[in-house]
Amino acid sequence: MFRFIAADLRRHWIGVLAVTLILALAVALGVVVTLQERALRLGSARAAAAFDLVVGAPGSETQLILSAVFLQPAPLPLMPGSVLAGLLADPRVAWAAPVGFGDFVDDFPIVGTTQALVNGLGRLTEGRASARLGEAVVGAAVPKAMGAVFHPMHGQIQGPAEVHGGISYQIVGRLAPTGTPWDRAVLVPIEAVWRVHGQEAEAAGHGEEPRPRSLSDAHQRHRDFAPDLDRPIRPEAFADPSAPGLPAIVVKPRTIADAYKLRRDYRGEHTLAVFPGEVLTRLYATLGDARQVVALIAVGAQGLVGAAILLVVVVHVLQRRRQIGALRAFGAPRLVVFAIVWLEVLALLGAGLLAGAGLGYLAARLVSRTLEGASGIALPVVFAPADAGVLALVFAVGALAATLPALLAYRQSPAAALRG
Amino acid sequence: MPGLAIRDLEVRFPGLEQPALAIPALDLPAGAHVAVTGPSGCGKTTLLNILTGLERARHGAVSWQGTDLSALSEGARDRWRAAHVGLVMQEFHLFPGLSAVENVLLPQRLSHLRLGGETKAEAARLLARVGIGNPRQPVETLSRGQMQRVAVARALLARPGILVADEPTASLDAEAGAAVADLLLELAGETGATLIIATHDPRLTGRLERVLRLDGGRLAPGAERA
């Protein structure tokens, strides 16, 4: 029987191939949706793993997390410099580090921070930590050589940008890959960022500088501004309550209980404390809704493809009713005729499902790689045990539908074979 | 070898006033060689369908050696046919993609879990007997005459007591048709099987010991030649 099935499938190989391919594509559609959504969840959760608690100025929690954890550029409101000083002095805090941004080099965000965050992100694979204000440590995915010197740019290449021509950083270290957007970050001492943007001067109240007379004058001054970065980092500067304002602070609490207490204490009029997890959970809910819509569309497409293929199989069985009748006329039992048609459809279905899972996996990998290149977030494409259940369910539904043409063949009168 | 006894057989198709087939009585001794002839639409195919159990006789009795086909269920008729009837058809019904020997073995393969070495040896013997030199040759590459000879070998594999052929020579040229006719007669004689051939071919009817002429579903009286 199996030899007959194999010979029959081989003889109709073009049709078999076409049907299998269509099935595979329909299945791949659903697989990609599932895998990609899972990749986004896993990737974003892993990217946020190093960030227990983020403190910022009151505003959008989501924007705070997107900016501080995922380095999405957005103008965040600043909180007073005293907040960092307070956190650094807090016994419940293992470490706290500022996150200040705004500048870019090429397409890579420059993040002003401290050694604590560099340590929190992982170890260095090359070079050493920054010791002077003009020294930068780069993420694993930043294609710049050790010792390279660059000028920061205000804004990104695509948008309106302005090069800080008078300022230059030198790369002295490189971080191990983390699979997070921080792989694409250029870390510089926060003090340097303050200086570049003249905040320290303002905070210190240097009022003698004359106001720019015009907008172009102001731009010119911005371009020519050349603060002195050839100074060692002074850790005590962060702990200074009169330090300049900060958009975000990453906090590592000592215990889980401390984390909840800190979150409560820092949710107030002047600050906002957020667990990245709670924001991600909300984002996942939205993502889940979107996935559900897309998944429904995919299921609809699969249903239509299934119905079309069922029709093709039924027409095929009807066209071959004389041949099927002949099988029975020669003595093949009805159940065998049923089994032949059923197993042939199951073979197509099985091959289509497996190929679809493979195609879907490859497509998800491709999408993930493209997104990884753009965001720096590692998006792991993995199958979960539940996926096998879904595929088995699709197979079961298909097997049930396949009984229709099989029954048609089963009921085929053997006398039809004799009629001329 | 089974002999045939038909009593009060009447086959009607919906919408037709006249019965498609009406045979009050017909007896054939076991091992008889019989031709069924008549114009198209005379009921030849209907008679063959009834005789082989492909269709059920709703009215009357069709008994082969005491087994009344009209009393059997569809499944039982399938089993009876597989055990007792070898079929040869005008359009061969060989399955492309399989070799000659696989085609001969196919009905047995589909109804048995395992094939004994005996069956395989018998298939090879039959193919040699019908003059197919290469049993491994794919059937679609055979000539039409060769195809029908493979079909004859297939019909005989289960050593049936009844050999039924429906226009076995109609789609063949004269030479190939004659070769197939020779084979059918010789093999039926060798195995002692009852041979029933529906045919228009006068060269074939002339070689059979008895001719049943059907007209409008009835056996023409006096047209029978002993």
User: Is A248:A68 a contact under the CB 8 Å cutoff?
Assistant: yes
Whether the pLDDT of residue A400 is over 90: the answer is: yes
The predicted-structure confidence for A312-360, as pLDDT tens digits, reads as follows 989 988 888 888 888 888 888 888 889 999 999 999 999 999 999 999 9
- Asked if B54 lies within 8 A of A414 by C-beta distance, the reply is yes
Number of Cβ pairs < 8 A linking chain A and chain B: 87
DSSP tag of B94: -
Report A:312-341 residues touching B (Cβ under 8 A): 322-323, 326-334, 336, 340
pLDDT of residue B222: 56
Contact call for residues A17 and A355 (beta carbons, < 8 A): no
For A:397-416, CB contacts with B below 8 A are 413-415
Q: Does A123 touch chain B (CB under 8 A)?
A: no
Q: Which two tokens stand for residue A27?
A: 């299945």
Strands (E), B12-105: 21-28, 33-37, 59-64, 67-68, 85-89
Dihedral sign, Cα of residue B47, residue B51, residue B52, residue B53: positive
Q: What pLDDT was estimated at residue A201?
A: 45
The answer to the question of residue B52 being in a domain is yes
Q: CA dist A249 to A53, A54, A93, A238, Å?
A: 8, 6, 12, 11
Q: Please give the pLDDT value at position A205.
A: 43
* pLDDT value of residue A225: 60
Contact A19, A312 (CB under 8 A): yes
Q: Which chain A residues touch B154 with a CB distance below 8 Å?
A: 330
Minimum distance, in Å, between the CA of residue B84 and any CA atom of chain A:
10
> Which residues are CB-neighbours of A269 under 8 A, at least 6 positions away?
A58
Q: Which chain A residues have a beta carbon less than 8 Å from that of B89?
A: 326, 329, 417-418
How confident is residue A419, by pLDDT bands cut at 50, 70 and 90?
low
Secondary structure of residue B97 in the 3-state scheme: coil
B98-114 b/e (C-beta count within 10 Å ≥ 16 → b):
bbbbbbbbbbbbbbeee
pLDDT of residue B103: 92
Tell whether the model's pLDDT for residue A301 goes beyond 80: yes
Quick one: pLDDT at residue A295?
Answer: 85
Q: Which amino acid is at A240?
A: D
User: What tens digit of pLDDT does each residue of A224-241 get?
Assistant: 566 677 778 877 777 777
User: B50 and chain A: CB distance < 8 Å anywhere?
Assistant: no
Residue of A9, A324, A330, A337 to mutate, interface with B, max B Cβ within 10 Å? A330
CB within 8 Å of chain B, chain A residues 224-243: none
Q: What is the mean pLDDT of residues A144-173?
A: 77
Task: Please tell me the predicted confidence (pLDDT) of residue A273.
Answer: 92
Specify whether the CB–CB gap between B124 and B146 falls below 8 A: no
Measure Cα distances from A274 to A213, A254, A260 in Å.
Answer: 42, 16, 10
Report pLDDT digits (tens) over A85-126.
Answer: 888 889 999 989 899 887 888 888 899 888 888 888 888 888
Q: Is residue B226 part of a domain?
A: no
Which percentage of chain A shows pLDDT scores above 70?
Answer: 89
Tell me whether B55 touches chain A (CB under 8 Å): yes
- Strands of the sheet containing B4-11, edge to edge, are B21-28, B4-11, B59-64, B67-68
Which residue ranges in chain B fall short of pLDDT 70? 1-2, 221-226
Asked whether residue B88 is assigned to any structural domain, the reply reads yes
Residue by residue, what is the 3-state secondary structure of chain A? CHHHHHHHHHHCHHHHHHHHHHHHHHHHHHHHHHHHHHHHHHHHHHHCCCCCEEEECCCCHHHHHHHHCCCCCCCCCCECCHHHHHHHHCCCEEEEEEEEEEEEECCEEEEEECHHHHHHHCCEEEECCCCECCEEEECCCCCCCCCCEECCEECCCCCCCEECCCCCEEEEEEECCCCCHHHHCEEEEHHHHHHHCCHHHHHHCCCCCCCCCCHHHHHHHHHHCCCCCCCECCHHHCCCCCCCCECEEEEEECCHHHHHHHHHHCCCCCCEEECHHHHHHHHHHHHHHHHHHHHHHHHHHHHHHHHHHHHHHHHHHHHCHHHHHHHHHCCCCHHHHHHHHHHHHHHHHHHHHHHHHHHHHHHHHHHHHHHHHHHCCCCCCCCCHHHHHHHHHHHHHHHHHHHHHHHHHHCCCHHHHCCC
**Which residue, among A124, A219, A134, has the nearest Cα to A175 in the 3D structure?**
A124
Mean confidence (pLDDT) of chain A: 84
Instruction: Report H helices in B192-222.
Output: 202-205
Distances (CA, A) of A338 to A316, A404, A406: 14, 10, 5
State how far residue B90 is from chain A, nearest Cα, in angstroms.
8
Question: By three-state DSSP, how is residue B9 classified?
Answer: strand
What ipTM was estimated for this complex?
0.84
Average the pLDDT over A248-277 and give the result: 90
With respect to residue B51, please indicate whether it lies within any of the assigned structural domains. yes
**Which helix (DSSP H) or strand (DSSP E) does residue B116 occupy?**
none
Instruction: Report chain A residues whose CB lies below 8 A from the CB of B136.
Output: none
pLDDT tens readout for residues B5-41: 888 888 888 888 888 889 888 899 988 999 999 888 7
Q: CB-based contacts of A36: which residues, under 8 Å, 6+ apart?
A: A364, A367, A368, A379, A381
Measured from the Cβ of residue B137, the count of other Cβ atoms closer than 10 Å reads 16
Instruction: Assess whether pLDDT exceeds 50 at residue A206.
Output: no
Report the domain count for chain B. 1
The tokens for A334 are 């009805």
Helix (H) or strand (E) holding B225: none
Strand partners, A252: A95
Tokens of B169: 């020579």
In this predicted model, what pLDDT tens digit does every residue of A33-51 receive, in sequence order?
888 888 888 888 888 887 8
Q: Residues near B190 by Cβ (< 8 Å), separated by ≥ 6?
A: none
CB B56 within 8 A of CB B69: yes
Distance CA A48, CA A278 (A): 11
Mean pLDDT score, A375-402: 87
| B78 with A323: Cβ contact below 8 A | no
Q: Between chains, do B82 and A331 touch, taking CB under 8 Å as contact?
A: yes
State the CATH number of the domain containing residue B24. 3.40.50.300
Note down the domain range covering B203: 4-219
CA dist., res. A30 & res. A357, Å (int): 9
